Each structure stands twice: as structure tokens, then as C-alpha cells.
Structure 1
Amino acid sequence: MSSSSPKRLAPLDDRSLTEHVARSSVTAHARRLEQELGIRGGVSRVGVGCAMTIAVLLGFPTAVLFGLLSLEHGAGWAIAAAVILLATIALCGWIVIAASRYHRRAPELRYRLGRFAEDNRLEYTPSLGEPAHPGQLFSRGGEREAQDVVRWPDGRLEVGNYRYVTVGYRGTRSVWEWGYATAPLAHPVPALLLDGKRNKGLFDDRIASAFDARTPTRLESPDGGRFELWTWQRDADAARRLVDDQLLSQLGLRSADLEIVDGRVFLFSNRPLSTADPGTWAWIIETMDLIQARAAALGRPTTGEDVTRA
């Protein structure tokens, strides 16, 4: 790994992300992806049908049951039955509307990202199964897939969205979706994990593992963001110098987690990244440049064991 100062990432031409595109061009691009790569233009009709079936099978029988109970126990049960019936109908309508929006949006996003990559001499991959990355997130669950992956040809940066499936009690399937950006570090840095707490719900997945043997340190950014820093005690001082207040505030702008492992840095968002937004790309580049600068400032000598592993 080179000990020289890393080159800053060049600004991107992002006009293709926002300028008007012809619907015919998007349709032709989606048809070509389906023919060449087998990638469908939008959502699966089977998936939409299954979601609506589940909503109906749960909602309608419950509404009927409550309606029957109202015959003996009064109007309160009738009101509950009506509320459940209306909620079921509304949920089915929302599923149809959401699927329709995604069906239109997904092909357009792929078209825009393809042009964006071409304009900036980058590589765009619509779908990549089993992405070969180290770290905690990329070893979880099954059916692992990276989507809308944009790579720099020299490997200096990769950005995409990532999903995996876990199977829980009685075969219940849960689909987890993350956004990520990763780059090789130009300087050796101890392995660490920085878990942000902002905008995470009760059932959101966490980047930190319950089985991590490292001791977490609670940190807070100047703007009130809360983090947990996981690292080995021997590396605590170096990790804290890397993860300073400026970097904490920068990560807090997009509620991102940070992992450094095997000489690579990963930014993780527990929601898919809005890669059609030029602001997202500006934030990623600024954050990566900041991390590379912090790594260089640590001033650790380059050795044969230039990466401290967890």
C-alpha cells in the first residue's frame, strides 16, 4: 500500500442525473438490459400479488370476525371491523401505487446512471450477485446482491446499493437494504467500526454485531449526533484521532456508518442511497477525501503488516 498522499477524487459531471430524458430512450434502454442481462424493467408482478394477498388474508377475515362479534357485543366491534376493512383497502391501494411508481422510476434510474458513468468514464453494473467485499455487512444472510453499482476504473471508489435476506422464526423472510461506498485506503489504519445512532428505528438492522469482542466507546458530534466506536484497546488512540469531530459531523449529514477493515474504508447507509441526487455524490466524494486525509495525518509507518485486523 502506497504511503504517498492520495489524490483527491475529481468532481463529477452530474448533468445526466437531472436533465430531461425522453421516455422512449428509457424504454429502449430497459428493453436492452432485459434482453442482454435478464434484468426486468420494474417490480415483479408476483411480488406485488403476494403482498396484496397477504394484506387481504390478514385484513378481511379479521374484519369479518369483528363484524360477527359486533352482533353480540355492540357497536364498538362494528367500528373496529370498519376501520380494519378500510385500512386493508388502503394498504392494497398503497401497494399498487408504490409498485407503479417504482416500475416507472427504476428503469429511468438505470438509464441515468448508465449515462452518468459514461460521461465520467466510470463503470456501471445494474446488478451484481454476491459482491466480494470484506466487512460485517457483506457476510450476512443470503441472496446477497449489489444493485446500481458505479465503479471507478482504477478501483479508487465503488458506490452502490446492497440487499440481503435473512430467515427468522418459522421461515419468516426479512429483506434488508443498505447503501454503501467503499475505497482502498492509501495509508494503514487500524480496523474499526463506527455505528451511528441517528434516524434508526426499532427494527432497523445495525452495522455492529452483537458478537463483536471489541469494547465500544460512545462519541458525540458537535451537532448532537451519537455514535459508538468499536475498536481494539491498543488502537483506541489512533482510531479516535481518525474519527474526529469534523468526520463525525460529516457522517451525520447522511446518517452514515463507517467501517475500516482489510485496508478498505466503507460508508454504510441503512437506507438505499439516492444516487440520482448530485448531492449524494458530492457528499460521498467529500467524505472519502476527508477520511483519506485523516488516514494520512495519522503518520504511521508503512510495514509489512500495514493493516490491523479485528
Structure 2
Amino acid sequence: MTSPAPAPPAFDARPLVEPVPPGAAHAFVQELKRSGRLPSGSAAVIVFVVVGIVVLFGFGTVAVSLITAVFATIASAMAGSGEAAGFGIVGAFLPVLFIGAIVTVAVVVGVRLARSGEERMYRLDRFARANGMSYVPRFDDPGLPGMIFSLGSSRNATDLVRGERPRFVEFGNHAYTTGSGKNKTTHNWGYVAVKLDVPLPNIVLDATSNNSLFGSNLPASFDKDQRLSLEGDFDRYFDLYCPAGYETDALYLFTPDIMARFIDHAAALDVEIVDDWLFLYSRRQFSTLDPATWAWLFSVVGALLDKFAQWARWRDDRLAHSSPVQDAVVAGIPQTAGAGIPSTAAAQSVPFVAPPQSLRPPPGVAPQGRRLRQRVPWPAIVVIAVFVLFWILSQAGVFGALLGGLFGG
């Protein structure tokens, strides 16, 4: 008699909120560094010191100048009185005391931030262990095939919580930067990555609930002729994009029961299927110390996992025309009807081979279905161009000259 499969561990969020033993978080982070799981924080320290120096000599210099000027004015006004000397002494020492206060505040804030970061990593590691998962503090340039992982520079994923059963699932926060100098922008995302059984066509579900005035909040735009309308209320919650020619395949994958799962549990998230991965995206952090966020994410993944088995049976019929196995079968059966050789004899010349039409295509996606065609976001470009043109004309004094010509005479 076979023993029943062990029940999955119950969701346990206590490590996210329970007290941390004194010194445990710092010791944990030091062990991460010794084992190479966490890069050295020397770079962060250098950045903190440089920023502190800039602030100190920038803001501090201005503040000291103002204080000195105020006390000089007061001392000048009180010239000849006995209190003028006292104000002069206080005015000489007050800038030093002020700079000392700034340094003290900076040190206290830096220490608290460091401790807060250590406690965060400690709690997330204990939370992952309590739920049968593992924790990775940072992974630079993760290289996943999703649309957010190949953009910008300084790409990194942080606070990764990974599970291996019943399939690989990764929760994390991803950041990358675009632009340079004053136009440098950091983009932050939360994501869930789920490993699928087979590669599938590139399909995007763009959630309508998080769109902005200019449309989708996703970093990529897709040709409108790739949008597919599904039955029921699905279009109220998602805009579905699939490669041209794969409409029937998308309908096979998104059956009514699967559409209902996405509507009920993932309507606030953008979804991308690419290669053998499914990604859930949001502009908010996913890997946090908030138990409610984790309970929601676990419920979303749990609701979808048991439906992915249906997708494992999907095959791309287009690969049947380029399958090496089928090409070999076809090559081994001479097409000799015109040469007077009966087809039955031809079939018997290749023993133990099933008829070509019974072969299933191998797992995979034909080249035309692997990636959606992206389009240029013209509305956003037009708006930006208008603002840039307005700024150029205003800097050139065109508007001032125009107004002067209209009202000056």
C-alpha cells in the first residue's frame, strides 16, 4: 500500500513579524558575505560616505554662512554692550556644533538603515525556510527571458524567495536604470517567475486595472493586430496579445476555467508567457515584510499551478513540418507513385515506423510564435515631443516676442 503524499506546509508568516534575537541579523548577514551569497557592502559604504560629504559641504556650508551672518549682525547691533562679546563667542562655536550635529545624525541614520537591511534579509530567509523555500539576497543581471529583464543597465534582482515544488517558482524585486546624468531613472518591479513544462507562444495579458492615461504600464507596446478578444468578461480585465497565426493556440491555452482563475486571482497583475516561463509583474515590490502581500501572492500562484498541467499537452503543429524525426521518415518513404512502385511496397521498406501523420510535434514553438512584434508608442512620443518643442521655443524667447508683438503696440 502506497503512503499518501505529504501535505504541503501551511503558510507561515510569523518570521516576518516576530522579534529578532539581538545580534542574530548581523551574524546572518556576515555569514552571507563569508559564504559569497551576498556581495561585499564596501561599494554601498563608499556611496554613503560620498553622498554624506556632498550634503555636509553643500547644505552645511550654506547653513554655517547664514548662522555666521545672523550672529555677526546681532553682535554689530549690540556693539558697545556687554553682551556683544558673548554673542561673538557663541557665533564662533555654533557652526562647529551645527556640523557636529549633522555628522551625528548622518551616522545614526546610516546605522539604523544598515540594521534595518540586515533584519530584512534575516526575516525573509527565515520566512522562506518556514515555507519550504530558499532565500537569495541578490542576483545581478538575472537573464530571465521576460520583457523587464533585458532593459536598461545596472539590472539586479533582490530578495529572491524560491520554491522547487511542485514546480520552480521565484518571487523577487527587479530594478534597472535608464538614461544618464540628470535624466537617469531607476525602474522598480515586483515579479513572480513560474517554470512551465514546455515552451509556449509569447502571450501577454496586459491588465487594464493598472493602465495609465497613456495606456499600458508595461515597458513594451505590441502591434494591435496581435490582440485577441476572448469570450465572457475577460476583455474587461486583460488585453491579450498573441503572435499572428496563434489565435487558435491561445484559445486552447486559455480555456474558460483558466480565464476565470486569472480574473479571480491575478486581475491586478500583468502576465507574460515566454519560452517555458510564466511571469507576473507589478510596479510594487513583491518580496516584502508584509504578510498580507505574501498571502496574496501565494494564493495567486496556488490558484494557477494546478491549471498549468493542461498547458503541458500543447504542441505547435508548425514544428511538424520541420521536425527532424518526421523529415527522416518522409525521406525514407520514396515518393514513387509516378515511377510505378506501389505505395504499400514503399511503406514496407521502412519497417517499425509509424505513419508520419501520427507523429506529435516535439515540445517547442516555431520561430514566428516565440516573440510578439513590438510597436513604437507613438502617443507618448508625440506628447514628449510637444513638451520638448514648447521648452525650446520658450528658451529661445519666441513666446515673449510673440506676446510683445500682440500686446506691445
Q: Same fold (TM over 0.5)?
A: yes
Give the unaligned 5+ runs of structure 1: 1-6, 61-95
Give the superposition deviation at 1:151. Answer: 1.7
Q: How does 1:143-158 map to 2 (within 5 A)?
A: 143-153=154-164, 156-158=168-170
The 1:285–1:214 alpha-carbon spacing in structure 2 relative to 1, beyond 3 Å, is farther
Give the unaligned 5+ runs of structure 2: 1-5, 64-105, 316-360, 372-409
Counterparts of 2:40 and 2:308 in 1: how far apart (Å)? 39
Give the match for residue 279 of structure 2.
Answer: 266
Counterparts of 2:287 and 2:24 in 1: how far apart (Å)? 22
Q: Is the 8 A contact 1:8 1:289 kept in 2?
A: no
Give the superposition deviation at 1:181. Answer: 1.0
Give the superposition deviation at 1:38. Answer: 3.6
Counterparts of 2:174 and 2:9 in 1: how far apart (Å)? 25
Give the match for residue 288 of structure 2.
Answer: 275
Q: Is the 8 A contact 1:195 1:257 kept in 2?
A: yes
Counterparts of 1:207 and 1:299 in 2: how far apart (Å)? 27
Instruction: Say if 2:375 is the partner of 1:309.
Output: no
Q: Is the 8 A contact 2:201 2:275 kept in 1?
A: no
Give the superposition deviation at 1:309. Answer: 1.9
Q: Which has the higher strand share?
A: 1
Q: What's the secondary structure of 1:143's corresponding residue?
A: strand
Instruction: Say if 2:48 is the partner of 1:45.
Output: yes
Give the match for residue 238 of structure 1.
Answer: 252
Give the match for residue 164 of structure 1.
Answer: 176
Give the superposition deviation at 1:305. Answer: 3.5
Give the superposition deviation at 1:222. Answer: 6.6
Moved more, 121-130 or 293-302: 293-302
Task: In structure 1, give the amino acid aligned to 2:274.
Answer: V
Q: What is the number of residues matched between the two proteins?
A: 267
Give the superposition deviation at 1:156. Answer: 1.3
Instruction: Say if 2:183 is the partner of 1:184.
Output: no
Give the match for residue 110 of structure 1.
Answer: 121
Q: How does 1:5-154 map to 2 (within 5 A)?
A: 10-34=9-33, 37-40=38-41, 44-46=47-49, 49=52, 102-153=113-164
Counterparts of 1:223 and 1:38 in 2: how far apart (Å)? 44
Q: Is the 8 A contact 1:152 1:158 kept in 2?
A: yes
Larger Rg: 2
Give the superposition deviation at 1:175. Answer: 0.5
Q: What's the secondary structure of 1:118's corresponding residue?
A: helix
Q: Which has the higher contact order (CA 8 A, sep 6+)?
A: 1
Give the match for residue 286 of structure 1.
Answer: 299
TM-score by length of 2: 0.53
The 1:48–1:160 alpha-carbon spacing in structure 2 relative to 1, beyond 3 Å, is farther
The 1:185–1:38 alpha-carbon spacing in structure 2 relative to 1, beyond 3 Å, is closer
Counterparts of 1:110 and 1:175 in 2: how far apart (Å)? 22
Q: Is the 8 A contact 2:199 2:277 kept in 1?
A: no
Q: Is the 8 A contact 1:176 1:205 kept in 2?
A: no
Q: RMSD of the alignment, in Å?
A: 4.5
Q: What are the Cα deviations for residues 65-114 of structure 1, in whole angstroms up to 9, with x where unaligned?
A: xxxxxxxxxxxxxxxxxxxxxxxxxxxxxxx8998875443221101112
Q: Is the 8 A contact 2:163 2:169 kept in 1?
A: yes
Q: Which has the higher helix share?
A: 2
Counterparts of 1:224 and 1:211 in 2: how far apart (Å)? 16
Percent identity (aligned): 30
Q: Is the 8 A contact 2:29 2:122 kept in 1?
A: yes
Give the superposition deviation at 1:137. Answer: 0.9
Counterparts of 1:220 and 1:46 in 2: how far apart (Å)? 58
Counterparts of 1:152 and 1:179 in 2: how far apart (Å)? 17
Moved more, 120-129 or 44-53: 44-53
TM-score by length of 1: 0.67
